[in-house]
Amino acid sequence: MATAADSQDGEEATPSPNSSENGTFECNICLDTARDAVVSMCGHLFCWPCLHQWLETRPTRQVCPVCKAGISKEKVVPLYGRGSTNQQDPRDKVPPRPAGQRSEPENNTNFPGFGFGGDGGLHFSFGIGAFPFTFFASTLNLNDGRPQPPSAGTPQYAEEQFLSKVFLWVAVLFIFWLLIA
Amino acid sequence: MMASQNMDPAVAEISSKGIPNLNNGTKETHSATKRLQKELSTLMMCGDKGISAFPEGDNLFRWKATIQGPSGTVYEGLLYKLVMEFPSSYPYTAPTVKFETPCYHPNVDQHGNICLDILKEKWSAMYDVKTLLLSLQSLLGDPNIESPLNIHAAELWDSQVLYKKIVREKYNKDVLGK
Ligand SMILES: [Zn+2]
Ligand SMILES: [Zn+2]
């Protein structure tokens, strides 16, 4: 697998065949190839510094220079080309380009949010802890009225395992509190 | 020791705030220059029929332009000279465009000032010299009679034969000196 630096070197070495031959990727304001490119909701391409300057120039009439559609700084989408996610030109950082919105992929059976900050140690103690809790649970009749526990490997099983770990920790903390108090 | 340590970030902050402000003007001029150079090279590579534009001397912010009267209109065959002045904030603000050749037209006053929305409140950063000149060319044959600068011309527009006669007379007198 190539490292980030390698792929960037490769990117620079590769000549861009049709960079500014057709005006498709030219900024509608400076007429040059768009840098720090953003696209308005109406689909028009600009450099972010150019568009920012345009919106600053006429704060009362925020319209797309091309189609006159209503436009706002918050509602532009940045375009990240390959190898261009970390823009290195500090001059144009004056107005930071709005970030892309990113939704997390749906996670399955993993609970990365759980834990008290430390990772390895806690997960390890969960592993041991799961058994005593099932012991507690059966003696305290917490499982009354529940359907048969799902078989290992299914998402339900993992979920139940997780829940029992949570309950175990609540129980452990409760006992700990009893001991201190 | 402490004082000097405390000073440094403050100084750095002031200078970092000061530099962009100082550079703002020159940077703006730089982007205007770059854009005007780009427009010039595009115009020279594929000039449109009926319009021309070129910087006056070595000043990129003042151009001389011409438009030909569109065919099929009373201005057919006439050539009008214009002056375009670009602010350092171009293209974020519109250039000033004036007729240098006296132009008898409802939307042009006796000093050559033009009343055209895209030169004022409808200006957009995507308009360039070419689109402006083409718009002015079509304005010649398609005036806005509702808000005239030259009321006389606006009132006469409907009687095209007489209008054409006056346009030609004035053009011959002002341009050709006849
Ligand atoms: Zn641009
Ligand atoms: Zn648009």
Of the residues A72, A98, A124, the one at which a domain ends: A98
Structural domain count, chain A: 2
Mean pLDDT (whole number) for A122-131:
45
Known catalytic residues of B?
Answer: 115
> Are both A137 and A87 inside the same structural domain?
no
Residue A129 sits in the same domain as residue A72: no
Instruction: Calculate how far, in angstroms, residue A74's C-alpha sits from the geometric centre of ligand 1.
Output: 18
Q: Tell whether A7 is covered by a domain.
A: no
The reply to whether A146 and A76 lie within a common domain is no
**Distance, CA of B32 to CA of B125 (rounded, Å):** 11
Residue A61 lies in a domain: yes
A103 part of a folded domain: no
Closest residue in B to A55 (Cα) is: B92
3-state DSSP assignment of residue A181: coil
DSSP B2-30: HHHHHHHHHHHHHHHHHHHHHHHHHHHHH
pLDDT tens string, chain B, 178 residues long: the values are 444 444 444 444 444 443 333 345 677 788 899 999 999 999 988 777 899 999 999 999 999 999 999 999 999 999 999 999 999 999 999 999 999 999 999 999 999 999 999 999 899 999 999 999 999 999 999 999 998 999 999 999 999 999 999 999 999 999 888 7
Q: How far apart are CA A93 and CA A88, in angstroms?
A: 9
Establish if A110 belongs to a structural domain.
Answer: no
**Residue A32 at interface with chain B, using a CB cutoff of 8 Å:** yes
Same domain, A123 and A162: yes
CATH number, domain with residue A42: 3.30.40.10
CA dist., res. A109 & res. A150, Å (int): 14
- Shared domain for A58 and A131, answered yes or no, is no
* Nearest beta carbon to residue B20 from set A28, A63, A94: A94
Tell me which residue in B38, B39, B92 faces A57 most closely, judged by beta carbons: B92
On whether both A121 and A153 belong to a single domain, the answer is yes
Q: Is the pLDDT of residue A128 over 90?
A: no
| Domain-ending residue, one of A64, A98, A132 | A98
- What residues have CB less than 8 Å from A78, skipping those under 6 apart? A36, A37, A38, A48, A97, A98, A99, A100
In terms of residues, how long is chain A?
Answer: 181
Domain residue limits at A46: 16-98
**Which chain B residue shows the shortest CA-CA distance from A46?**
B126
The answer to whether B24 faces chain A, any CB pair under 8 Å, is no
Task: Judge whether A138 lies within some domain.
Answer: yes
Q: Is residue A5 part of a domain?
A: no
Same domain, residue pair A149 and A85? no
Q: Are residues A73 and A124 located together in one domain of the fold?
A: no
Last residue of a domain, one of A35, A70, A98: A98
**For B91, nearest residue in chain A (alpha carbons):** A29
Q: Are residues A20 and A94 in the same domain?
A: yes
Contact A29 B20 (CB under 8 A): no
> Do A21 and A89 share a domain, yes or no?
yes
Q: Are A69 and A43 contained in the same domain?
A: yes
Please give the structure tokens belonging to residue A11.
């990117």
pLDDT of residue A64: 95
Are A173 and A142 within one domain? yes
In a domain, A106, yes or no: no
Q: Which ligand is nearest to the CA of A44?
A: 2
Residue-wise pLDDT for A149-166, tens only, equals 556 666 777 777 888 888
Number of A to B CB contacts under 8 A, please give it: 35
pTM over 0.95: no
Q: How far is the CA of B63 from the centre of ligand 1 (A)?
A: 22
What's the CA gap between A139 and A148, in Å, rounded?
17
Q: How many angstroms separate the CA of residue A22 from the nearest CA in chain B?
A: 13
Residue A120 lies in a domain: yes
Best residue of A31, A32, A47 to probe chain B, by most B CBs closer than 10 Å: A31
The answer, for B39 touching chain A at a CB cutoff of 8 Å, is: yes
